[in-house]
Amino acid sequence: MPDLTNLPDSVEIGLQIALVAGAALISFLVLRAAVGISVRHLIERRTAESGGGVLPRAELERRVNTIARLAVRVAATVIVVIAMLMTLDLFGIDIGPAVAGLGVVGIAVGLGAQTLVRDWLAGIFVVLENQYSSGDMVRIADVEGVVEDFSLRRTTLRDADGTIHTVPNGLVTVASNLRHATREDPSVASDSAVASESAEAHAD
């Protein structure tokens, strides 16, 4: 068996860098799998608790991918930063100033992106609690319409006139899902239809 203690410094550093890179890659793959499983289980449980029933497979996959993608990206960024700092340390570079600099940058970014973070957090709870989905008739932030598109940052609605409204999720303090109301009480839908016919008759 070859003696690894007598290797040149450059080869030894190269092996250590490869070890750090391998550990980072394995950590990323394990974390990605764990996040996907955990998010799927959490969404299914919260949906059942909220009385939303069983989500269609396509909708469940979309929700899992939406949250898992954000969580994996954040975790991957942390892993890459840690791996880079460890690599710099292998070359004898003092990482103390780098860590301090990253802390300052993190605080600055956090203060500047408060609104964006608020939108993301609100979007995560919308997904986890199954408050509404694409195609639902909802009323949020004083806007009523059909959900055309949804992301963790914003919700896009189309109202009865065909106007497209983009609502940041951070502004959604009360979400009224009219689809669930009509499903649970069919008289709501019939009353709405009668009201619309009466309004049209008066208009004529």
Q: How do residues 90-111 score in pLDDT, each as one tens digit?
A: 888 877 887 788 788 778 777 7
CATH 2.30.30.60 residue ranges of the chain are 137-203
The counts of H helices and E strands in the chain are: 6, 5
- Measured CA to CA, the distance from residue 34 to residue 63 in angstroms comes to 16
Q: In DSSP terms, which residues pair with 164 in a beta bridge?
A: 158
pLDDT tens figures, 114-172:
888 888 888 888 887 778 888 889 999 889 999 998 888 899 999 989 999 999 999 98
- Measured CA to CA, the distance from residue 72 to residue 74 in angstroms comes to 5
The answer to whether the predicted template modeling score (pTM) of the entire model surpasses 0.85 is no
SS3 140: strand
Domain 137-203: which CATH class?
mainly beta
